[in-house]
Amino acid sequence: MHRTLRSGLALPLVALFAIAPLAARNPGSQAAAELPSARSIIDRHIKEVGGRDAILAQTSTHAIGTVSLPAAGLTGKLEAFQAKPNKFLQRTSLPGIGETEEGFDGTVGWSISPLTGPMLLDGKLLEERKFEADFFEDLKASDRYESLTTLEKTTFEGRPVYKIRLLKKNGAEDLEFYDSETGLKAGAISTRDSPMGPMQGTTSLTDYKKFGSLLQPATTRVSVMNMQMIMAITSVEYGKVDPSVFAVPAQIKALIK
Amino acid sequence: MIGRVKVLLGAIAIGGTIAAVPAAQASRGSETFDAAWTIIRDSHFDPTMNGVDWPAVKAELGPRAARAQTDSELRDVIRDMLGRLGLSHFALIPSGRDSAGSMPADLGGDPGFDVRLVGSELLVTHVDQLGGAASAGVRPGWRLLSVDAMPVSELLSRLPETMPDRLRQVEVWRMVETRLRGPQGSQVSLMFDDGARDVGVAVERRAEPGQPATVGNLPTMYVRVETEERRTGYHGATAGVIRFNVWMPGVDPLFQQAVDKFRTADGIIVDLRGNPGGLAAMIMGISGHFLTERKPLGTMKTRDAELKFAANPRLVNSAGQRVEPFGGPVAILVDAMTGSASECFAGGMQAIGRARVFGQTSMGQALPAFFAKLPNGDVLIHATGDFVTADGTRLEGRGVVPDEAVAIARAELLAGRDTTLEAALKWIGQQGR
């Protein structure tokens, strides 16, 4: 498993090595010195969406919306539950395909797909699921990362952005883009493990709207291997999630030895 | 972000791979042509475009697309472009019907029998017991001579003599199937040779059996899963036979029930004859009924990534109880109309030594494909990956070569025998589980 993961990561690492020298090439240059720190860019985003206190005041969320794969002509329902510290359940339903569920109850990571059946996550898949399940993920707590580095000011999806590298403690890294004018997060490029191996995706976050006390991106576009998936949120409810929603389904329990 | 949806990259990988058998307007001609050309340029798994000078193709065909007067003419130009690649899974699904098409407007009725080309003869290989053909007395082994006065020999003569047998099989089937189908309740006049004399019958086209399944832009398909328990004739051994006609999500729970039913059998036979494929990701779930580890059946190689189609061991039965995947011998039946996801499954299981394959060499059209909507509303099916089995075998253009080749013989069909199934039963009986 370890060897597979290492070889599987070869591709994204090539891309990352292409980026790293840009940041390290001339650290003392005037350009680098003029760039704001990654922490300050993230903190500005946090302030723009409602502030750290408003985020930390939340205990759970329930989002409802739609998911679509335009090229395949598919549009369905999307429902996502999250609770602190790190529980989540996401349910998508596509006509002709059926319902897919992904969950994490703080310990057990799992998925149930009408295409591949129930699956218990382990190894790197479970590790990634646990990391991403953090309810306050977007605060980018420094103890969760090895380093946060501003790489450059560039453009992303036609917007002026700061590009930030987030190096995780396990060596994996993501690139995130924050709008230099609005301060809001504009998107990310990340590689995630999947049952089929590592996949690189580009995520763009748009249509920020106020849901309760927080500003949220109502539209998330994900592009993987030339296929685009659009997730649109229509409502978000806070603090009313029944904890039982995160219970591991019976067919997943049966997989746990 | 609190309340934001999780971006689960794996969820986007539905992995459609379906045998490209589209049924068949020139608005936005140049724009549509250019979009299709660009999508393929940017996503083809082979940067050399299979040796085709892609800019030259655009220079040649682009002006024709711009001059196209009708949508049908435009589609012909785009299909010409796709054909230059010489690969499966590059096809066009029209947003409406071709105005110049020669097919009947409604193809929802089916006479209820299947044919295969054996040498120069088109033989009935299967008759649906609830179909119009069965009611008209049509039997396996009969030779189809004409469809609505169109001689089969004339259809065959339209194919280039240099066409490889594997492609000839698929093209003949497509030409005949197009003529056999029509509006439900209508009749098709057929002439057969029943082995002793020529027989003319009028066959009613009936609704295609099965559960209708529509996934996005794909045409509606009818899902059928059939099971039967058979005695092998050896040592009292029994085998469960599971047949399904297309890889659609509705198959999975029925397949699960079938495996549960046959858990104590001495072997399981998965009959994929005539199954043209469907959603490729499903091969990971179906193969998991026979594997205890996440073994890759094969790899989809795109231009810049490799995705493994690994089995998901199915450790829970349909009642939600923990079980072990079926550990006995597994036979897979294939024929010339076994395509795409079916080939990935059969070839993958064969490559890892988990199944023995019986029958005739399959289509050789096994490229995982995605869809893209074009400016005129048509949908482009375009292969984004090459499928290579775990032992390095590339199935595109080759097909799955059976471990035990069983030729279709007319005399056996006329005698009511299914020699491919018999060979698989014999093998299972000899395994002595």
Q: Does A5 touch chain B (CB under 8 A)?
A: no
Tens digit of each residue's pLDDT (9 = 90 or more) over B155-188: 999 887 887 888 888 889 988 998 999 999 999 9
With helix as H, strand as E and coil as C, how does B334-388 read?
ECCCCCCHHHHHHHHHHHCCCCEEEECCCCCCCCCEEEEECCCCCEEEEECCEEE
Q: What is the DSSP letter of B221?
A: E
pLDDT in tens, B19-34: 434 333 356 888 999 9
Nearest C-alpha in B relative to A80: B5
Q: Residue B177 falls within a domain, yes or no?
A: yes
Residues B167 and B232 in one domain: no
Residue B215 lies in a domain: no
Question: Does B73 fall in a domain?
Answer: yes
- Token pair belonging to A101: 């569920």
Instruction: Say if residue B235 is in the same domain as residue B349.
Output: yes
Q: Are residues B185 and B246 in the same domain?
A: no
> Do both B148 and B271 map to the same domain?
no
Do B136 and B55 share a structural domain? no
Least Cα distance to A11 among A223, A201, A196, A198 occurs for A198
- Whether residue B325 lies within 8 A of chain A, CB to CB, comes out as no
Tell me whether B13 touches chain A (CB under 8 Å).
yes
Residues in A touching B10 (Cβ below 8 Å):
192, 194-196, 199
Domain boundary among B207, B231, B259: B207
Using a CB–CB cutoff of 8 Å, tell me whether B38 touches chain A: no
- Total of domains in chain A: 1
A218: left (phi over 0), alpha (psi -120 to 50) or beta: alpha
Residues of A in contact with B307 (CB under 8 A): 194, 196-197, 199
Q: What average pLDDT does the segment A115-133 reach?
A: 94
**3-state secondary structure (DSSP) of residue B106:** coil
- C-alpha span between B164 and B207 (Å, rounded): 34
Asked whether residue B98 is domain-assigned, the answer is: no
Q: What is the CATH number of the domain that holds B19?
A: 3.30.750
B161 and B239 inside one domain: no
> Euclidean distance between the first and final Cα of chain A, in Å?
19
- Domain range for A243 is 2-253
Q: What is the pLDDT of residue B196?
A: 96
How far off is chain B from A61, nearest CA to CA, in Å? Answer: 5
Specify whether the CB–CB gap between A202 and A223 falls below 8 A. yes
- pLDDT 10s digits, A148-188: 999 999 999 999 999 999 999 989 999 999 999 999 999 99
Are residue B70 and residue B190 in the same domain, yes or no? no
Question: d(Cα A217, Cα A187) in Å, to the nearest integer?
Answer: 10
- pLDDT for A9: 23
pLDDT at A15: 22
| One domain, residues B124 and B150 | yes
Residue A251: closest CA among B406, B394, B320, B97: B320
Terminal CA-CA length for chain B: 55
CA A75 centroid distance within chain: 21
Do B66 and B128 sit in the same domain of this protein?
A: no
- Are residues B260 and B362 both part of a single domain? yes
Residue of B423, B274, B296, B413 lying closest to B357 (CA atoms): B423
Domain CATH number, residue B178: 2.30.42.10
Strand, coil or helix: B214: coil
Give residue B27's pLDDT: 61
CATH number at residue A50: 2.50.20.10
With a threshold of 0.85, tell me whether the complex ipTM lies above it: no
If asked whether residues B259 and B360 sit together in one domain, one would say yes
Residues 61-80 (B) with a CB less than 8 A from some CB of A: none
Minimal C-alpha gap between B350 and chain A (Å) = 20
Q: Per-residue pLDDT for A86 more than 70?
A: yes
Domain count, chain B: 3
Nearest CA in chain A to B256: A117
CATH at residue B293:
3.90.226.10
For residue B165, the enclosing domain spans 109-207
Chain A contact for B235 (CB, 8 A cutoff):
no
Are residues B228 and B197 located together in one domain of the fold?
no
Q: What are phi and psi of A55, to 5 degrees?
A: -70, -50
- List the Cα angle A162/A165/A168 in 5-degree steps: 150
Q: Is residue B213 part of a domain?
A: no
Per-residue pLDDT of chain B (433 residues; tens, 9 = 90+): 455 566 555 444 444 444 434 333 356 888 999 999 999 998 888 889 989 999 999 999 999 999 998 888 999 999 999 989 888 888 887 775 433 334 445 778 999 999 999 999 999 999 999 999 999 999 999 999 999 999 999 999 988 788 788 888 888 998 899 899 999 999 999 999 999 999 999 999 999 899 999 888 777 889 999 999 999 998 899 999 999 999 999 999 999 999 999 999 999 999 999 999 999 999 999 999 999 999 999 998 888 788 899 999 999 999 999 999 999 999 999 999 999 999 999 999 999 999 999 999 999 988 878 778 889 888 888 888 899 999 999 999 899 999 999 999 999 999 999 999 999 999 999 997 6
Q: Does B213 touch chain A (CB under 8 A)?
A: yes
Q: What is the pTM of this model?
A: 0.87
Last residue in a domain, options B151, B186, B207: B207
